[in-house]
Amino acid sequence: MNSDIEVPQGRTKHFKRLRLAAIVLSLLGLALFGYFIYAVGFHEIWEGIRRFGILGFAVILTIYFARICVRSWAWKLSVHAPYKLGVLDTIPAVIIGEAMSSTIPLGILISGTSKAVAVRRKIPLVGGLSSVATENLYYSFVTGLFLIFGAVLLLRGFAVDESVAVTLNMLIGVLTFLVILGLIMVIRQWHFASWICNWVYDRGFLTRLLERGRFEVHRFEELIYGFYRHYPQRFVPICLLELSYHLLGIAEVWFILSRLGDATPSLMSAFMLESVSRLVTIVFKLVPFMIGVDEAGAQLVGNAIALAAGVGVTLAIIRKGRILFWTAVGVALIAKRGLTFQALSNRENLPLDELSVE
């Protein structure tokens, strides 16, 4: 990797602002986490965790590993010729990416980069970056549909506050528009994003940011369109794998609820909790380990679907334990491969000028 590439001053300032925002959000998340522990009661939460047990924890660790496997397989299918990866290559890289995403405030911005760096001995960094970007697009498409379906069910099946209903309706509208627009852009191969960047740049706005960024956006569009042109038959298999990732998440929530309560939970309850958890993950990914905000989202849905008091918060804390476990595995893999957090997160050294698909 070329270490002599200079980062525009505007981009450096942009990352400094994001880092500051992440720190502020993390502190607020800690305060929120403390509030929910106090409001629900430490003893009640501890009793729920004790009831869940070590065996239950082992089961959700296994379920999450299955989720890692399906996304790893989707990534494998997203690699374009002449490059090739196997699931034994992608699984450790996905675990490393998840560890980076969970532990540092700007993890969401470099988790994809860290995956590509983790497989750099198997394929060039360019191939790794392009395949990660392609898989992320499929994941975003399926996740958008998942969130729309969850928001519609929450509105139609449960009594929610008027302010929450307005927010959900706005979310449904925005996500529906973005999903449809994304499909049309890929099918018709519209360079819509780069056109907007050029239009803004030509009018003198954000010139420092877009001086290089508009070309990167164009290359990203060509990357996606090139994969679609060459491998249209992979669309359905990759989407099914991404869907399986979410279905396994629902299974995980259902299993946790079944261990925390006496009655058999409904799949609807599990679906609602998982869909809101996915939304919270997207919106507040700057917060390490989703501390505080995940508990808030679970408690909000728990109240809407009439779960017992404190179950939503206990659920979020148990899932946080699962995240901590797999993060530790990811850190161990990083150390075993002789990598460092600094090397994995060094976005400045990426050869973005080479990102293209023939």
Region 173-187: mean pLDDT is: 85
- pTM for the structure as a whole: 0.80
Confidence category of residue 341, pLDDT binned at 50, 70, 90: low
CB 334 within 8 A of CB 340: yes
- pLDDT over 90, % of the chain: 22
Of 18-27, 120-129, 271-280, 346-355, the range with the lowest mean pLDDT is: 346-355
Using the CB atoms, write b or e for 32-64: b if 16+ within 10 Å: bbeebbeebeeebbeebbeebeeebbebbeebb
Region 44-50: mean pLDDT is: 81
CB 219 within 8 A of CB 27: no
| Positive or negative torsion for Cα 236, 240, 241, 242 | positive
Of 40-44, 47-51, 91-95, 164-168, the range with the lowest mean pLDDT is: 40-44
The identity of residue 185, as a single letter, is: M
Give CA–CA dist 118/121, Å, rounded.
8
SS (H, E, C) 203-252: CCCCHHHHHHHHHHHHHHHHHHHHHHHHCHHHHHHHHHHHHHHHHHHHHH
CB 100 within 8 A of CB 114: yes
Using the CB atoms, write b or e for 156-189: b if 16+ within 10 Å: eebebeeeeeeebeebbeebeeebeebeebbeee
Region 216-241: mean pLDDT is: 83
- Residues 128-161 pLDDT 10s: 888 888 898 899 899 999 999 988 888 887 777 7
pLDDT value of position 342 = 61
151-155, 222-226, 329-333, 336-340: which has the highest mean pLDDT?
329-333
Give CA–CA dist 294/287, Å, rounded.
10
Confidence category of residue 22, pLDDT binned at 50, 70, 90: low
Parse the chain into domains and list their residue ranges: 9-354
30-34, 192-196, 244-248, 312-316: which has the highest mean pLDDT?
244-248
CB 253 within 8 A of CB 150: no
Which residue stretches of the chain are H helix? 9-40, 42-77, 87-103, 107-118, 125-157, 162-188, 192-202, 207-230, 235-260, 267-283, 293-304, 311-336, 341-344
